[in-house]
């Protein structure tokens, strides 16, 4: 038996191929048949209802289907691939971190070059801090998104004051 998780326009369906004529969709047994008409067009029969499907492969698991004039975005994964993908997504969510950038010295914020919500790359100039009559260009230590800016232009800061957060 082959087990798959098919995501159709964001909705997951559990599909188990029992034999070349029988399958289970979300636990419901159906009679089915699949016939290739050409390299990208198929005839699918589910319980004596026929669907002509045009398929375009996007990548290893994503497909764009055209069924009865309607475009359907799908992801087809084996049960094992689905569990592995969920595991990786959960791990990423748990490791979602943020980095607080603090003032390296006392000074005055002369110019803020980025806004909250901006995507940044490591080394991007974020703000100019004047200290001891010198302009210091504070750059992003890592790539990410600016979550929040805690200072404004013209504000005085002390060493260790939080300037902005990168997530």
The answer to whether residues 123 and 140 touch, using CB atoms and an 8 Å cutoff, is yes
CATH class, domain 99-166, is mainly beta
Q: Enter the CATH code of domain 2-94.
A: 3.30.700.30
What's the 3-state SS for the chain?
CEEEEEEECCEEEEEEECCCCEEEECCEEEEEEEEECCCCEEEEEECCEEEEEEEEECCCCEEEEEECCEEEEEEEEEHHHHHHHHHHHHHHHHCCCCEEEECCCCEEEEEECCCCCCEECCCCEEEEEEECCEEEEEECCCCEEEEEECCCCCCEECCCCEEEEEC
- Residue listed under structure tokens 């990168």: 166
Q: What pLDDT, on the 0 to 100 scale, is given for residue 87? A: 79
What is the chain's pLDDT, residue by residue, as a tens digit (167 residues)?
789 999 998 899 999 999 999 999 999 999 999 999 999 999 999 999 999 999 999 998 899 999 999 999 999 998 888 888 887 777 666 556 788 889 989 999 999 999 999 999 888 999 999 988 889 888 888 888 999 999 999 999 999 999 999 88
- Start and end residues for every CATH 3.30.700.30 domain found in the chain: 2-94
Identify the pLDDT of residue 85: 82
Burial class (CB in 10 A: 0-12, 13-18, 19+), 111: middle
Considering the chain, tell me which residue range(s) the CATH 2.40.50.100 domain(s) occupy: 99-166
């Amino acid at each position: 038996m082959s087990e798959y998780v098919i995501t159709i326009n964001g909705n997951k369906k559990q599909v188990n191929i029992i034999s070349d004529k029988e399958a289970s969709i979300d636990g419901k047994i159906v009679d089915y048949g699949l016939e290739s008409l050409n390299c990208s067009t198929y005839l699918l029969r589910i319980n004596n209802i026929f669907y002509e499907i045009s398929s375009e492969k996007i990548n290893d698991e994503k497909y764009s289907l055209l069924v009865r004039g309607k475009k359907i975005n799908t992801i087809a994964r084996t049960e094992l691939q689905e569990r592995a993908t969920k595991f990786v997504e959960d791990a990423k969510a748990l490791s979602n971190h943020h980095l607080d950038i603090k003032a390296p010295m006392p000074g005055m914020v002369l110019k803020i070059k980025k806004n909250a919500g901006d995507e940044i790359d490591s080394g991007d100039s974020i703000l100019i801090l004047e200290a001891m009559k010198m302009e210091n260009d504070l750059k992003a230590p890592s790539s990410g998104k600016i979550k929040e800016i805690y200072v404004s232009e013209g504000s005085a800061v002390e060493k260790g004051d939080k300037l902005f957060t990168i997530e």
